[in-house]
Amino acid sequence: MKHDGYNEFRQRGRFDFPIECHHVDCHHPRFYMPYHWHMEYEIDLVVRGSVTLTLNESQVHAKAGDIIFIRDGVVHGGHPETTDTIYDCIVFDMKKMLAGSHTFQDRIEDVLKHVTLINKYLPASTPDIPRLIQHLFRSMKEEHTGYELVVTGLLYTFLGFIFQQGLYHEAASLPLREHRRKRITQLKQTFQLIDSQYQQPLTLTDLAQAANLSPNYFCRFFQKITHHSPIDYLNRYRIEMACLKLTHTNDSITEIAFSCGFNDVSYFIRLFRRYKETSPRKYKQLMKEGK
């Protein structure tokens, strides 16, 4: 079974149309978004409820109608704040999709080179953009004839509105950017360890060593970024992986518990209930029924 890893190096959509759309509700196996990054850009639209996402070292609270823009390479993850929350995500390769006329190519290059940073939070009250993004998601979902042209045009229009309305800022000075990059790189190393070794009995020391930090400093740093302790986050990630396996395999509850790093099935079931508010068996049944 394949899953979306922390560093998502994979083809988005088609080679000639590198974009994909995800609709996420409480029955989606990744309703709780584990921390990850990818080299494409992402636009998230909160359809209902509210979500809290961490993007590198900043946090965004978004409610219905709000938009979150995530540039390439940013570590992001978080959680819906209510169980009835719904949000849509589009992930796309900006360089491949919007490589066009020299008339505006310089502006796009500045975005791609992180000289110009688009605001990460675009509230529902922003003129024009929320309606445009809703049209973008609708076009992706319906896939009517010619939708590729519509989607590409809407992405260009989105960037046009961003520049017209000044919804961007210049990047920080190079020394500050390098300092932040180093901190995030250390965090990514821990996420990579969790992604590849979550089945193993990982300890706090293991997680701290992956980031090349002392356990005490690592705990404070990890908590600041993710708002979870390292071990709590590890357990949450294991439960999310269990959700994927419950949805996509016929393995027993015991097999899934052991394959996700738990050596005590009772403890696995207790944690699953804590995080998902239902039992593994009921969750599997719900996924089978498509509810």
- pLDDT value of position 177: 65
- pLDDT value of position 12: 62
Statement to judge: residues 137 and 242 lie in one domain:
no
Tell me which of 122, 152, 170 is where a domain ends: 170
Statement to judge: residues 23 and 165 lie in one domain:
yes
Burial state string for 61-94 with b = 16 or more CB within 10 A and e = fewer than 16: ebeebbbbbbbbbbbbbbbbeeeebbbbbbbbbb
Question: Considering the domain boundaries, does residue 2 fall inside one?
Answer: no
Write out the residue range of the structural domain in which residue 282 sits.
Answer: 175-289
Statement to judge: residues 180 and 151 lie in one domain:
no
- pLDDT value of position 205: 96
Statement to judge: residues 149 and 35 lie in one domain:
yes
Q: What is the CATH number of the domain that holds 43?
A: 2.60.120.280
Work out the mean pLDDT of the chain and round it to a whole number: 89
The list of the chain residues with pLDDT below 50 reads: 1-6, 8-9
* Number of structural domains found in the chain: 2
Statement to judge: residues 123 and 186 lie in one domain:
no
Statement to judge: residues 155 and 180 lie in one domain:
no
Using one digit for the tens of pLDDT, what is the confidence trace for 134-178? 999 999 999 999 999 999 999 999 999 999 999 999 887 666 567
Statement to judge: residues 103 and 229 lie in one domain:
no
State whether residue 275 is helix, strand or coil. Answer: helix
- pLDDT value of position 290: 67
Tell me which of 120, 136, 170 is where a domain ends: 170
Using one digit for the tens of pLDDT, what is the confidence trace for 1-18? 334 444 544 556 677 899
Question: Measuring CA to CA, which residue among 277, 273, 234, 241 is closest to residue 257?
Answer: 241
- pLDDT value of position 272: 95
Written as six digits, the tokens of 58 are 């900043």
- pLDDT value of position 1: 34
Distance (Å, rounded) from C-alpha 65 to C-alpha 253?
A: 38
Given a contact cutoff of 8 angstroms between Cβ atoms, the answer to whether 124 and 68 are in contact is no
Statement to judge: residues 216 and 242 lie in one domain:
yes
Statement to judge: residues 165 and 179 lie in one domain:
no
Statement to judge: residues 153 and 53 lie in one domain:
yes
Distance (Å, rounded) from C-alpha 109 to C-alpha 86?
A: 33
Q: What is the CATH number of the domain that holds 254?
A: 1.10.10.60
